[in-house]
Amino acid sequence: MKITRDIREYRDIINVPRPEPQCHQRMPMAKRAAQFSPFAALTGYEEVVAQTAQEHEAKIEW
């Protein structure tokens, strides 16, 4: 099932300015970047891949 939308459906909100918070200041860009920075979801994955590659390379006969 494919859902398609027409931009005309959003005509009333497309040029509305972004709301400003009333109760607190905006988070500084540096903190926001740190908060949403990528993280290692699979800790130790890189080490396992490197070890596996090293084991396979050792088995290759030249």
19-54: pLDDT as tens digits: 888 998 888 887 777 777 676 677 888 899 999 999
pTM assigned to the model: 0.35
Evaluate whether residue 24 is within a structural domain: yes
| pLDDT score of 61 | 74
Q: Which two tokens stand for residue 49?
A: 């891949």
| pLDDT score of 8 | 87
Evaluate whether residue 39 is within a structural domain: yes
| pLDDT score of 51 | 94
Task: Give the chain's domain count.
Answer: 1
Residue type at position 27: M
Evaluate whether residue 2 is within a structural domain: no
- Between CA 21 and CA 17 the distance in angstroms is 12
Q: Which two tokens stand for residue 31?
A: 């903190």
Residue labelled with tokens 């084991």: 55
- Which SS3 state, helix, strand or coil, does residue 53 take? helix
Q: Which two tokens stand for residue 6?
A: 């027409």
